[in-house]
Amino acid sequence: MTKKKPKTQSSTIALNKKARHEYFLEDKFEAGISLQGWEVKSIREGKVNLSDSYVIIKQGEAYLFGAQIQPLNSASSHVICDPERSRKLLLKKRELAKLIGLTERDGYTLVATAMYWKACWVKVEFHLAKGKKHFDKRSDLKDKDWAREKERMMKHSHR
């Protein structure tokens, strides 16, 4: 008898790939997220979009804005599903105080970059970020192109 290996699934639910292009990402934070039942079911199906999501701090609490969680077709009829509602992030007081200071004084913004499973909980990864100017984006593209070209040159020189 051969034992079947259990399927290893990626714990990543959704990524915000645009964030690295649009912002300079600095410090990384992880927070739990307060969800409703229909949202958890939709997340299990992968119906999440983080492309324009960000974190805002209002009245001493952190909220995730712009994240879209599309409801399933089989959602209950007595629950009102709002795909773009703001969702509360679960952070410690010390982390909240640090984030409030950095965003208010230093002009940073908080950009959500990933949503993933950690054990049975849904976590949101967000970064402290500063916006890039147009010329910064061009220099990043130039560096990426040069790295790709170097790899090609090295690959062909070893033959």
CA dihedral 34, 40, 45, 47 (to 10 degrees): -40
pLDDT per residue over 37-87, tens digit each?
888 888 888 888 888 888 999 988 999 998 888 888 776 666 777 778 889
Does residue 32 register a pLDDT over 90? Answer: yes
* Mean of pLDDT values over 19-39: 86
User: 57-61, 120-124, 136-140 — which is least confidently predicted?
Assistant: 136-140
For 31, other C-beta atoms within 10 Å of its C-beta total 21
SS3 content of the chain, % helix, strand, coil (to 5): 30, 35, 35
Residue 79 and residue 153: Cα distance in Å, rounded?
A: 58
CATH code matching the domain that covers 12-132, chosen among 1.50.10.10, 3.30.70.141, 2.40.110.20, 2.40.280.10: 2.40.280.10
15: phi then psi, degrees, rounded to nearest 5 = -125, 150
**pTM for this model (two decimals):** 0.73
